[in-house]
Amino acid sequence: MADQRIPFATHADATVLGADEIILNMGPQHPSTHGVLRVKLRLDGEKVIGSECVIGYLHRGVEKIAEHRSYTQFAPYVDRMDYVAAVSNGLGYCEAVEKLLGTEAPLRARVIRTILTELQRIASHLFWLGTHALDIGALTPLFYCLREREEILKIFEKYCGARLTTHAFRIGGLQYEAYDEFEKDVERFCTPFDKRVDEYESLLTENRIWVGRTKGIGILSAKDAIDYAASGPVLRASGVKWDIRKAMPYAAYDLYKFEIPTGKNGDTYDRYIVRMEEMRQSRLICLQAIENIPAGPILGKVGKVLKPPPGEVYHAIEAPKGELGYYIVSDGTTQPYRVRIRPPSLINLEAFDKMIRGHLVADVVAIIGTLDIVLGEVDR
């Protein structure tokens, strides 16, 4: 019979930790840890008094692989890190290598890169919104979000043939010319999109339950956010006006006007508002960009075999989830000596413990959701 029942709670050693604490293990197989994140929670009743994220279940050694591939060969690998924002990953890597080579992509290529990257930001935020709302229990927004995301993926598919791991850009510019209807497709998506965002907001923004579940949850002050090196919407929701697109413009961002939305309290609700506003801003960037895509070549002059001069480079872009940085060391051969990637998800996840302390178990899923982590990127 049931001789070896699992006791309800593993009581920690009373003399060391106090008798009231229990340890709860969430993940790595749990519907709402967004993949294979494992969180060890120290609980006092339902209250979280400490946490530890155990990562590495999806580790594939992306950085090590880079040392055995040529610069061109490695480019598709970066798509597999943040697989819901593959275009942004590719942009960061291509620009980093271009910087190392000392070249720059032609203007036409940079404008098309900007459009695709902003569409990818919208797609990534839509996916975040859908899953975040689903974690908090709202079933319906997910389907509306995926409906819109589908339109973006269709544009990607028409452009380069792939939907998810696009490998859209090449070092030095683009491989594919924009297809004939490209501007029209982007416009058809962007024009009604702000109404769609309003629609999602009508379901959530003023919903009492949503506000109750997100306001005051997972507060990260501006100082803490900077101390934890948080970036992207997590940082901006805490009131820090920092966006690499403005601070160190890359691609063609210096050509377009857009706002940096910021929050005040740094709680889950503010992060939600910031991301919603970012989608609107991305839409404006796309609309500005398709008005005038300059003519010209799409691929700059780069050799068939890439042999950057010895040296090192750090290049960061504003990926949907935050600062995505590539640090590449070249020893003058065809393969990088070392590639180090700064994944925004991992750095933002480090603030998790700070954010969850004092909240309840149910808030764990809300905070994991609001950090917008992708485990492919955290573990690499």
Partner 1 sequence: MLDQIVFYFFATLAVISAVLVVTRRNVVQSAIFLITALLATAGIFLQLHAEFLFIVQVILYAGGIMVLFVFVIMLINVDVSLHQIQFNRQWWLGLLLALVLGAQLTVAIAVGRSGLPLGEPAPAKMLEPSTQLVGRVLFTEYMLPFEIASILLLVAMIGAVVMAKKKI
Partner 2 sequence: MNALIEFVKPILVPLICALVIVGVLPLITGYIVLMERKIMADMQARLGPMRVGPHGLLQPIADALKLLLKEDIIPDEADKVIFWIAPLISVTAGMLAMSALAIGPWFQVADLNVGILFVVGIGALGLFGIVLGGWSSNSHYSLLGALRSAAQLVSYETAAGMAIVGALLLAGTLSTREIIMAQSDYGVWFIVAAPVGFFIYVVASIAETNRAPFDLPEAESELVAGYMTEYSGFRWALYFLAEYTNMVVVASIATTLFLGGWLRPFAGTPAFNFLDFAPSLLMLVVAGYSFYRAPKQPVKVQKLFMIGVGLAFLGLAGILAAPLSASVNAMLPGLKPGLHGAFWFLSKVGLYIYLFMWLRFTFPRYRFDQLMRLGWTFLIPLSIVNVMGIALALVLHRQWGWGHVPAFGLTTVLTLAVAGWLAQAGEKKEKEHAMAGGEA
Min dist. Cβ of residue 85 to partner 2 (A): 22
- The one segment of 59-67, 80-88, 91-99, 353-361 that binds partner 2 by CB under 8 A: 353-361
Q: Is 13 in the site for partner 1 (CB under 8 A)?
A: no
Contact present, 266 and 219 (Cβ < 8 Å): yes
Q: Which is nearer to partner 2, 49 or 162 (CB)?
A: 49
Give the separation between CA 233 and CA 318, rounded to whole angstroms: 10
Give the separation between CA 173 and CA 89, rounded to whole angstroms: 15
Neighbours of 11 (CB within 10 A): 14
Number of Cα atoms under 13 Å in the Cβ half of residue 100: 32
Q: Is 203 in the site for partner 2 (CB under 8 A)?
A: yes
Rg of the chain taking only CA atoms, in angstroms: 22
Interface residue with partner 1, options 7, 13, 15, 301 (CB under 8 A): 7
Contact present, 72 and 171 (Cβ < 8 Å): yes
Q: Which does 30 bind (CB under 5 to 8 A by kind): partner 2, partner 1, none?
A: partner 2
Min dist. Cβ of residue 48 to partner 2 (A): 10
Give me the helix-helix angle, 361-371 and 268-291, nearest 10°. Answer: 20
Interface residue with partner 1, options 2, 16, 295, 305 (CB under 8 A): 2
Interface residue with partner 2, options 105, 359, 367, 371 (CB under 8 A): 359
Q: Is 301 in the site for partner 2 (CB under 8 A)?
A: no
Q: Which does 54 bind (CB under 5 to 8 A by kind): partner 2, partner 1, none?
A: none
Contact present, 37 and 59 (Cβ < 8 Å): no
Residue 173, by phi and psi: left (phi above 0), alpha (psi -120 to 50) or beta? left
Q: Which residue has the tokens 């079933």?
A: 139
- Binding residues for partner 1, rule: CB under 8 A, are 1-5, 7-8
- Binding residues for partner 2, rule: CB under 8 A, are 1-2, 4-6, 8, 24, 30-32, 46, 133-140, 142-144, 147, 203-204, 207, 209-210, 212-213, 215-217, 219, 267, 357-363, 365
